[in-house]
Each structure stands twice: as structure tokens, then as C-alpha cells.
Amino acid sequence: MQFTPPLARLIEHFQKLPGIGPKSAQRMAFHVLKMSTQDVGEFAFALVDCKEKVRNCSQCYHLSASDPCEICTNDRRDRSTICVVADAKDVIALERTREYRGLYHVLTGLISPLEGKGPDDLTIRDLLLRVQKLGVKEVILAINPTIEGDATVLYVQGILKSLPVSITRIAFGLPVGADLEYADDITLSRSLAGRREV
């Protein structure tokens, strides 16, 4: 039994989303049929609206509907610190902590020849210009400890070397609430290497 064409098309579109298989797509499409016309209209509008309005901020490359973004225009944020992350999702994660009050810089990826991503495809040049223009004192690299992450950190470090700015990288170690006994060896040895005096 085939689905009637409009329904089949909707299922197909849902299935294109990441993490959605045929079964979930079907369930979502059937749910849409049960929703009120108004809700469906708002949903459709939200999709188009989001696509049309959300852009990369011209300064920090974070996703935002306004340019420059809310963080870059916020006067209460510390302009002498920039936190460098790979992806806009990382900004959201760090913002949730409410701990960090400086600016961000999104690289839009990591250096990876295998994926055809070189330094020129990232926003590293803009980072250099920003650091010079704003007179930034500290650059915090909040980048994953993968091979590609480590290479990117080395690269950024090399680019910023000549500037009077201190470059730090976030610490790696045990997650809070974790049990030493169950931590894997690599995490343990990294956290031993990064130990601090108490």
C-alpha cells in the first residue's frame, strides 16, 4: 500500500533530517496530520523564517538573526577575552554554564585534509584581525582533544604567536560526578598530566 503523494512527500522530507529513519519519519508525518491547521502553519512558517533570518554573525561567526549577534553587541561582555570554538553548538554549550562573560569566535570547523578543510576554509584570518583590532588579552581555545582538534590548536597558536596575547586551552579530565575507577586510561592520564596544586 502506497501513501498518497502529499503524505509520501512529507515522509520523504522528514527522512532527510539527521537521525530520522523511515519509521520515525512516518510517525512524525502522521502526527502532523493530527495537528491543528494553525499549528501546522506556524511550524511551516518557523522553518522558512529560520532559514531566511539566521545567518553567521559577521564578527564571531556565531549563528544569529541579527548582525552583529547578541553576544558581540552586548556591552556587558568582556572584550579582552575571546573563546575560540569549532562550532556554533559549542557556543550554546558554553553559554549554558553562565560562567564565561567574554566574546566568542566560531571557526566553523576543524583543519582536516581528509574532509578537504584547510585553514583558509576556517575563520582563522578573521580571528587574527579581531584579536589585533580589539586588543584582546586572552584567547581561550575550547577545542576537542581529537587529532584534528590538536592540529587546529597548533595552527591557531602559530598564527597568534607574534601578538601580545596569552593563549590557553581548556582542561581535560574527569567529568564532574564521575568515578575514578570507571574512567578510561586515556582520560585518567590526561587528567594526571593536567593536575593542579590544591
Partner 1 sequence: MLLKNLKLHNFRNYNEQDIEFKPGLNIILGENAQGKSNLLEAIEYISTGKSYRATHDTELISRSKNQASIAVQYFIDWDNRSNLQNISIDFKTTPVEGKTKSLKLEKKVKINGATYSTTRNLKGSLCVVSFKSEDLNLARGGPKYRRDWIDNLLSSIDLGYRETSNRYAKCITQRNRLLKNIAEKGGRYNLSDSDKEQLRVWSRQAASLGAKVTKERLKLLDQMRPLIESYQEKISGKNEPITVRYFQTSTEEDPESPQNIDQQDDQLGPNWNETSESELESRLMSLYKSRFNEELARKQTLSGPHRDDIVFCLNDLPAKNYGSQGQTRTLVLSLKIAELDLVSDHLHEPPILLLDDVLAELDLNRQNFLMQEVANRKDMQTVITTTHIDAFQKNWLNGASFYEVSGGFIKEKISC
Residues forming the site for partner 1 (CB under 8 A): 111-114, 118-120, 147-148, 150-151, 154-155, 158-159, 185-186, 189
CB 176, min distance to partner 1, A: 23
Distance CA 185, CA 190 (A): 8
Q: Quote the least distance from Cβ 184 to partner 1, whole Å.
A: 8
CB of 133 to partner 1, least distance (A): 21
Tell me the closest approach of the beta carbon of residue 131 to partner 1, in angstroms. 17
H-only helix segments in the chain: 5-15, 22-34, 37-53, 70-73, 88-96, 124-134, 147-160, 185-193
Nearer to partner 1, 63 or 128 (CB): 128
Query: Taking Cα atoms as reference points, which of 102, 115, 101 lies closest to residue 147?
Result: 115
Pick between residue 91 and residue 122 the one whose CB is nearest to partner 1. 122
Q: Give whichever of 88 and 122 is closer to partner 1, judged by the CB atom.
A: 122
> Which among 142, 131, 126, 138 has a CA at the least distance from the CA of 58?
126
Nearer to partner 1, 103 or 139 (CB): 139
Say how far apart CA 124 and CA 120 lie, in whole Å.
7
